[in-house]
Amino acid sequence: MTFRDRALEDIRAITEWYDPIDPGVTGKIRIDLQRSFRLLLDFPHAGAVVANRRIRRIVTRRYHFKIAYSLRGDHIEVLGIFRFQNRER
């Protein structure tokens, strides 16, 4: 599994946004994301195919972040992580 720079920026932005609000929740969000990453490693086709795109999307269980990723053979590339559906990828 690899992460595009945008996905890593998204993780940093999520941390920067939530840390001042509730530092305790940031760790919980990271656990939620990691749980979804592990799920993808075990079940790469778990995410729904995004219509008219060659990407898939999975939603984290607890905090409902959307993880956009591409799947090429056995390789998973995380494209971005976002909270709201109106954000373009």
CB 78 within 8 A of CB 68: yes
Q: Does 88 reside within a domain?
A: no
What pLDDT, in 10s, does the model give residues 37-63?
999 999 999 999 998 889 999 999 999
Q: Does 87 reside within a domain?
A: no
Q: Does 89 reside within a domain?
A: no
Predicted pLDDT at 22: 92
The residue that leads in pLDDT, 86 or 45, is 45
Which helix (H) or strand (E) covers residue 47, if one does?
A: none
Q: Does 47 reside within a domain?
A: yes
Domain tally for the chain?
A: 1
Predicted pLDDT at 86: 42
Q: How many C-beta atoms lie closer than 10 Å to residue 70's C-beta? A: 14
**88 falls in which pLDDT band (50, 70, 90)?**
very low
Predicted pLDDT at 29: 95
What pLDDT, in 10s, does the model give residues 59-85?
999 999 999 999 999 899 999 999 864
Predicted pLDDT at 68: 97
The residue that leads in pLDDT, 22 or 88, is 22
Rounded to an integer, what is the distance from CA 53 to the centroid of its chain? 17
59's CB contacts (< 8 A; 6+ apart) are 36, 65, 66, 67
Q: What is the extent of the structural domain holding 78? A: 2-82
d(CA 62, CA 41): 19
CATH classification of the domain holding 13: 3.30.2310.20
